[in-house]
Structure 1
Amino acid sequence: MKTPKIILLLLMLIVISLTIILTSILQPQTMSLGEEYDVRVINNFRDNSSLPLVIWCTSPQGELGGRALQEGDDFEWTAKIDFWSLMAVYTCTMKWDSVRKRFEAFKVSRDSNRCGSTKKCSWSVREDGFYFSNDEVYWTKDFSWL
């Protein structure tokens, strides 16, 4: 009676292994365990010297902290990819005057490819929205404040 259970278990292991292999072949990832990504959020407001941009960020492991960013200031950290963080999301809450916006500053499934070979994931926060870049030269607007 134990033989059918062993056969069933082996079949399940084979199916799971084939699924993992086929997924990696059909959807190759440039990310690998142990890689590190530099995440940077920059206050690129034109003139907010009297009104700072307040940022507070969290990681899957806990608080990253935050601070009030004056014009041109930044807040940065390193996101390290390990087995437990393959689905990780690093979020930041931004506050500017009476407006608040929570956004995913680094999401492994989204950013491991778009941060490129430099492994730089930069955000430029402006009056009209949030812009992403992996080289801090070319910026693409991802979303608005509202």
Structure 2
Amino acid sequence: MTTTNNIVGLFNFSLLLLLAFFIARPTSSFASLLTKYHVHVINDMPEMGANILFVQCKSGDDDKGARELRLGEEYGWGTRVNAVGTTLFFCLLKWEDVKARYFEALETKAVARR
């Protein structure tokens, strides 16, 4: 019986910590965790030598892999904001074998409550 009481107590404590985390979270609302964002990268660069755009997008813990997009092709994915309210995806674009650029494809920041 003591083991059952300990498990129930630990479960209740875990729920209390989770509730406290969401109440104290510096994001605008719990709903922001449920929002799914869709990111799209489109090769719309006319007059390129080979008409191929190399794309590699990733976050700190999620590499979306490398893709080659022909003119007019699109690459996309869906993602949600992480538990602390900050998510950053950045992409590397390369073309003509010499030109390259990084850009932030998606950035969310925790919003402090007022």
Q: Which runs of 5+ in 2 are unaligned?
A: 1-23
Provide TM-score, normalisation by structure 2.
Answer: 0.62
Aligned partner of 1:87: which letter? T
Map 1:40-79 to 2 at 5 A: 40-48=40-48, 50-79=50-79
Q: CA deviation at 1:40?
A: 0.2
| Correspondence list, 1:113-128, <5 A | none
Cα pair 2:92 2:102 within 8 Å, conserved: yes
**Counterpart residue identity of residue 89, structure 1:** L
Q: CA deviation digits over 1:78-100, x for unaligned, max 9?
A: 1212314x212101000012111
2:99 is equivalent to residue 99 of structure 1: yes
Do 1:38 and 1:77's aligned partners in 2 also have CA atoms closer than 8 Å? yes
The residue type equivalent to 2:105 in the other structure is A
Instruction: Give 3-state SS (helix, strand or coil) of 2:109's partner.
Output: helix
CA distance in 1, matches of 2:49, 2:76: 21
Flag the structure with more relative contact order, 1 or 2, with Cα contacts below 8 A and sequence separation at least 6.
2
Q: CA deviation at 1:57?
A: 0.8
Gaps of 5+ in 1: 1-19, 111-146
Alpha-carbon deviations, 1:39-75, whole Å to 9, x = none?
A: 0010111233723111001123221112111100111
- 1:66–1:75 contact (8 Å) kept in structure 2: no
**Equivalent residue letter for 1:64:** K
Percent sequence identity over aligned pairs: 25
CA-based RMSD: 2.7
Amino acid at match of 2:38: D
Distance in 1 (alpha carbons) for counterparts of 2:108 and 2:92: 18
For 1:91, the aligned partner's letter is F
